Structure 1
Amino acid sequence: MPLLQFDLIQGRSADEVKTLLNVAHEAVLTAFKVPERDRYQIVHENPAHFMVFQDTGLGFERSNKLVVVRVFTSPRSEEQKTLFMKILAEAFAEKCGIEVRDLFISFVTNSKGDWSFGFGEAQYLTGTL
């Protein structure tokens, strides 16, 4: 955990998506110090007209390489969250050719009891994890 959901505008190749997911996982490992196999990612591809993401008055335009990332996680420190944002933006720019203005990140925080990794069991509550 965390669970990352990505919304992308249609048109990326399978290799581009695979690279994007690998880069995002590296950012999770670095910022949140989770185990290597703590990897949960979902990609949604959308027609461009289904995604409207403006700039909240910050004065920039986004391109069709827009990536929206929702991070579902138990509470993380502000330091961890800002580190994740910085690492992800830099890595997407360097390894995926995604401009930093084309990355939108939102955190959705929940508690340990909100997670079941299988078997209908809340592993954090039962002590399995």
Structure 2
Amino acid sequence: MPFVRIDALSADGDRLHALGRAVHDALVETLGIPPDDHFQVLVGHGGTNSTLRYGNYLGVQRDHGIVYVAITMRSGRTPAQKQALYRRIAELAHAYAGTEPRNVFVTVTENEWADWSLGHGVAQYLDAAGC
């Protein structure tokens, strides 16, 4: 059950949709996320009322095509699975949205079963596990 937030500079609806599709397809392909497990917040920043800041940290030459992808998901994926996910997101963001892979910045935050309520104020994962 990943929750994804994508923030992109100068992104219209079509580009945001393409980026969302890229991240979702990468999650399905690399981590086996169910195709209907699709929870995303997509935000475009125009530079007037909102913007994104970036630098060239670790020698990566980012520019106005920057895309931040924040993924919150249950813990338990291996470093190799995460590396495959990052690589596939960058590949698909380039293929679907024309985003240069150097501009794809991904973070993963992990949590536990008790950290999710999918509606109705219920911790569904805890209830399903009988906890």
TM-score greater than 0.5 by the shorter chain: yes
What are the ranges of 5 or more consecutive residues in structure 2 without an aligned counterpart?
Answer: none
State the alpha-carbon separation in 1 of the partners of residues 40 and 52 from structure 2: 20
Provide the identity percentage: 25
Write the letter of the residue equivalent to 1:5: R
Change (3 A) 1:120 1:69: same
**Separation in 1, partners of 2:126, 2:79:** 24
The match for 1:23 is 22
Question: Which residue of 2 is the match for residue 87 of structure 1?
Answer: 88
C-alpha separation in 2, matches of 1:73 and 1:100: 23
Structure 1 residues 52-83: Cα deviation after superposition (integer angstroms, max 9, x where no partner): 2112241x422211100011011122122111
Count of aligned pairs:
126
- Pairwise CA distance, 1:28: 0.8
Partners of 2:16 and 2:43 within 8 A in 1: no
Give the aligned partner of residue 53 of structure 2: 52
Amino acid at match of 1:28: L
Counterpart of 1:113? Answer: 114
Counterpart code for 1:110? N
TM-score (normalised: structure 1): 0.88
Aligned equivalent of 1:63? 63
Q: 1:61 & 1:47 partners in 2: Cα distance? A: 21
- TM-score relative to the length of structure 2: 0.87
